[in-house]
């Protein structure tokens, strides 16, 4: 993330590239985001090739990425960025919320995924979170991922049940696992339990280590198998 403002006295600015093949979307979006005090839109790209060129010219902190673009689509561009510029965070902004698009983008390395129903505040919040190393998924995407995880978990419920949770999980860690199983984000868990997101992350890290949980989808399966969700 860029550490200081070019003006010297203002907040640190995130250098952002807006990528969308439709000028009617790309240009107004870049203009609106540029109004935020802590966001500097350094380039607007019409395809993946232009994104890579803008990042190479750098510095860039976050790319707001459409998925369906000519020359090189958003998923392949995200994959290239993850390989060659891992310091650059990608937040997908697209009309598509199907499993293939979501899993393809996240698997390629996207840190956030929003649909174009998202408002300006949602988009700026996701950009800031990505710049800080956090992940943001909108509710529709979370619901799709949860449904996919549950569908995959259903045939393996017996297997999951055969992996009992360790006895040294604290009541709070079990509670957090149950809420993950219900599809809540870190923020949602924090609000539900009246604790900070940082504390939620600590609980998640601890329970993942103790229970040998690989990722959030695995956590959903384990929660279902343990009867917590």
- Give the closest residue to 41 by CA, choosing from 21, 23, 26, 25: 26
In this prediction, residue 162 carries a pLDDT of 53
Q: What is the pLDDT of residue 115?
A: 84
- Token pair 């250098």 is at which residue? 15
Residues 6+ apart with CB under 8 A from 26: 18, 19, 20, 44, 45, 46
CB of 92 closer than 8 Å to CB of 77: no
Would you say 109 and 157 are in contact if contact means Cβ atoms under 8 Å apart? no
Q: What is the pLDDT of residue 149?
A: 65
Residue 52 has what pLDDT?
95
Task: Give the pLDDT confidence score for residue 155 in this predicted structure.
Answer: 43
pLDDT by 10s per residue, the chain, length 229? 444 344 445 567 899 999 999 988 899 999 999 888 899 999 999 999 999 999 999 899 999 999 989 889 999 999 999 999 999 999 999 888 777 888 888 888 898 898 888 888 889 989 998 888 888 888 778 777 777 666 665 544 444 445 788 889 999 999 999 999 888 888 889 999 999 999 999 999 999 999 999 888 788 888 888 888 7
Element (H, E) at 177: helix 171-181
CB 62 within 8 A of CB 135: no
Closest by Cα among 119, 108, 19, 3 to 63? 19
Alpha carbon separation from 189 to 184, 205, 215 (Å, rounded): 6, 14, 16
- What distance in Å separates the CA atoms of residue 105 and residue 99, rounded to the nearest whole number? 10
Per-residue pLDDT at 182:
84
Q: How would you class 66 by CB atoms within 10 Å of its CB: exposed for 0-12, middle for 13-18, buried for 19 or more?
A: buried
- Model pLDDT, residue 58: 80
Distance of alpha carbon 133 from the chain centroid? 9
**Residue 134 CB partners (closer than 8 Å, separation 6+):** 111
Phi-psi region of 133 (alpha: psi -120 to 50; beta: other; left: phi over 0): left
């Amino acid at each position: 993330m860029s550490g200081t403002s070019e003006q010297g006295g203002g907040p640190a600015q995130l250098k952002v590239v807006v990528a969308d093949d439709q000028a009617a979307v790309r240009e107004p979006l870049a203009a609106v985001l540029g109004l935020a005090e802590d966001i500097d839109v350094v380039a607007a790209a019409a395809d993946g090739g232009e994104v890579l060129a803008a990042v190479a010219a750098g510095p860039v902190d976050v790319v707001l990425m459409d998925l369906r673009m000519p020359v090189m689509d958003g998923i392949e561009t995200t994959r290239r960025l993850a390989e060659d510029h891992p310091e650059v965070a990608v937040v997908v902004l697209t009309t598509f919320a199907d499993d293939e698009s979501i899993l393809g983008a996240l698997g390629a390395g996207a840190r956030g995924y929003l649909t174009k129903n998202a408002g300006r505040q949602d988009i700026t919040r996701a950009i800031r979170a990505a710049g800080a190393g956090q992940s943001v998924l909108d509710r529709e995407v979370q619901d799709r991922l949860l449904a996919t995880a549950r569908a995959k978990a259903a045939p393996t419920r017996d297997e999951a049940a055969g992996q009992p949770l360790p006895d040294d999980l604290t009541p709070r860690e079990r509670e957090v696992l149950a809420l993950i199983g219900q599809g809540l984000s870190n923020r949602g868990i924090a609000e539900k339990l009246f604790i900070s997101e940082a504390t939620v992350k600590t609980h998640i890290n601890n329970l993942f280590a103790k229970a040998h949980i690989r990722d959030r989808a695995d956590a959903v399966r384990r929660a279902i198998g343990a009867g917590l969700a």
